[in-house]
Amino acid sequence: MPYPKVTVVGAGQVGATAAFLLVSKGLADVVLLDVAEGLPQGKSLDMMHSRSVELFSPTVVGTNDYADTQGSDIVVVTAGLPRKPGMSRDDLLAANAGIVRSVVAGAVAASPGALILCVTNPLDVMTYLAWKESGLPTQRVFGMGGVLDSARFAYAIAEETNKPMGSIQAVVCGAHGDAMVPMPRHSTVEGKSLVDVVDQSRVEALCERTIRGGAEVVALLKTGSAYYAPAASVVRMVQAVLGDTKESLSSCVYLSGEYGIRDVYVSVPAQLGREGVVSVTEMDLNAEEIDALRESAATIAASIEALGLRG
């Protein structure tokens, strides 16, 4: 049986690491595409040199041409500029919007049947833009944000409680950024709610560390930003889609009334399968939680408006 085909657009740290994980785990043949000549080809060749060591069967091919991505099952969009000193959030928004528009046009023309998984920041707005530009149904376009944020929350909880990772289920919703909404009441340690395991002041500290998780990595690296955990989060979502697992993962998905939120992409638990977003899993939120989620969604809506994507 042939492997599914996954295209990863952007051969930077996140894209290349995701590509390597996809082939080394035996999940898919990968096409790694980038505008920089030689970069995706060189990284792909390096990965293939590890084939006899890791003993994986799928292949990874580097290219600068969307023609090589034809027939992809999933297109993962990691291409984009990082925020640089002196660059405002609006500057980043405008620059990456142009990149995402170009990527989506090329990817959809080559693979009209593909699902699109957006990773480019600002994540929630770029996912909305990818949907608008693609002309695809909302369930076939989604973003990676909540899986990564939830992973960071789980790590913080494990460090605090000294419990194994397998005993922890963490949930983070909302925007992928400072407006994210950790959900301690819905996160568990050995089946017990986090709020029943850790006192309130420590719960608040864990939520704050989660929100600062990406910035904490950046501050330590001095240059660049996180890529191992983001890439692993991408692969977790791709695995759910290709395996048609219907697993509920915190994903950046289009809401059309769930939680009282409409016409915005925001991270909430959603079931993923071969058709993309199978369904949104509505949690039982209290008034404080629903207000925080709606406020977070409002920050995304404001950026969507700033790009002129509505109307």
- The residues carrying an active-site annotation are 176
Comparing C-alpha atoms, which of 161, 105, 180 is closest to residue 135? 105
Rounded Cα–Cα distance for residues 195 and 185 (Å): 6
Rounded Cα–Cα distance for residues 174 and 255 (Å): 12
Rounded Cα–Cα distance for residues 192 and 115 (Å): 36
Sequence-distant (≥ 6) Cβ neighbours of residue 126 within 8 angstroms: 77, 80, 96, 97, 100, 118, 120, 143
Whose tokens are 């000193």? That residue is 85
Rounded Cα–Cα distance for residues 161 and 83 (Å): 34
Q: What is the DSSP letter of 4?
A: P
Sequence-distant (≥ 6) Cβ neighbours of residue 143 within 8 angstroms: 117, 118, 119, 123, 124, 126, 127, 130, 176, 251, 252, 253, 265, 267
Within 162-227, where are the H helices? 194-197, 200-211, 213-221
Q: Where are the beta strands (DSSP E) in 158-210?
A: 168-169, 172-174, 180-182, 188-189, 192-193
